[in-house]
Structure 1
Amino acid sequence: MKIYTLLLFVTTLSVANAQDTPISAFLEKWENSKNYLVEIAELMPEDKYDYKPTERQKTFREQLLHIKQNMDWLSSTYFSTEKKKTKEKTPKTKADIIAALKTSFEQTATIVKTAKERDLKEIVEFFAGPKTKLQILNLLQDHVTHHRGQLIVYLNLNDIKPPRYRGW
């Protein structure tokens, strides 16, 4: 019984520590968000990457690239001291887009890991007005979620069953 109690305590402590700060909570969610989006991107056949439900919407491909570009911009602008110096080539194939998404998620995680909790209170200039870095961190995830929701609709409209939702 004592060993069971000890294991339960250690497991509880380890789970609590995984989300005891905004950054650690973000990073756990970010990894799951990456896996969820990549699964969606893999489900859509490459010949449907230029599909868009209406003329005024982005294509499936454009949505994925928009997500990637936004991650790169927000993380490098607000959480990194190093700015990107070279312009990247836009990935064209499904495989290249998925690889680029994975890289952007991983680079964003690496950049965010270097942030200090106290830095999240810092106010930065943003096009929507002054925001804290914590608000920018929340925007990173919210933006991915917003466009991933649109991509789920694209899958459904093409009679492709989306992956099961995962929130954390």
Structure 2
Amino acid sequence: MKAQLLSTLENARQYTMNVAAAMPADNYAFKPDTATWSFNDLLHHIGYGITWCNENYILRKQADWNPPAVTKDAAATQAYLSECFNILQKSIEKTDTDENIIHGFYATLDHITHHRGQATTYLRCQGVTPPEYTY
């Protein structure tokens, strides 16, 4: 089961990082509407969501929702997002996978997928074809 989780996580990481890299750095401040996050804010939220879910669902440590300051540019945001995936990967590697861990893992993936779908829409709004989805 652990190998399957890690494989699924790697797929999510690769596709998410490809989506992040597809947006030109100059367009990271893009917002499709004034009521939405910027592309940069959205990716930062994905990253923080990964670490928050990791704390609460995988490590089973109660963590309040208290995101750090948003990263300032494409390079910093992509580095932050990559590190968040690394943190989750290390936790999965070290943790015995029981039903609660598996449920938390898939809740985390659901959150990533939800916001990554928004990010692909942001790409299209900027005339960028999203990377091909791989499964």
Provide TM-score, normalisation by structure 1. Answer: 0.71
TM-fit CA distance, 1:134: 2.4
Q: Which runs of 5+ in 2 are unaligned?
A: none
Aligned residue among 1, 15, 18 for 1:39: 18
What is the match of residue 130 of structure 2? 162
1 CA distance for matches of 2:68 and 2:122?
27
Paired with 1:93 and 1:61, the residues of 2 have a C-alpha distance of 7
Residue 92 of structure 1 pairs with residue 72 of structure 2: yes
| Distance apart, 1:149 and its partner CA | 0.6
Q: Secondary structure at the match of 1:62?
A: helix
Shift of 1:81: 6.7
Work out which of the residue numbers 57, 62, 65 in structure 1 matches 2:36. 57
* Separation (CA, whole Å) in 1 of partners of 2:117 and 2:69: 26
Q: 1:13-24, aligned counterparts within 5 Å?
A: 21=1, 23-24=2-3
Looking at structure 2, the residues matched to 103 and 156 of structure 1 have their Cα atoms a distance apart, in angstroms, of: 26
* Residues matched between the structures, number: 132
RMSD: 2.0
Matched-pair contact (CA < 8 Å) for 1:37–1:148: yes
Moved more, 47-56 or 152-161: 47-56
SS at match of 1:30: helix
SS of match in other structure, 2:8: helix
Tell me which of the two structures has the higher relative contact order, counting C-alpha pairs closer than 8 angstroms and 6 or more residues apart.
2
- Supply the distance in 2 between the matched residues of 1:90 and 1:78 (Cα, whole angstroms): 23
Other-structure match for 2:54: 75
- The one-character-per-residue Cα deviations of 1:129-151 (angstroms, maximum 9, x if unpaired) are xxx33221111111111111111
The answer to whether the Cα contact below 8 Å between 2:31 and 2:37 also exists between their aligned partners in 1 is yes
- Asked which structure has the greater CA Rg, the reply is 1
Aligned to 1:107: 87
Distance, in Å, in 1 between the alignment partners of 2:93 and 2:51 is 15
Give 1:77 shift.
2.5
Code of the residue aligned with 1:52 in structure 2: it is K
Letter in 1 for 2:47: K
Among all aligned residue pairs of Structure 1 and Structure 2, give the percentage whose two residues are the same amino acid: 27
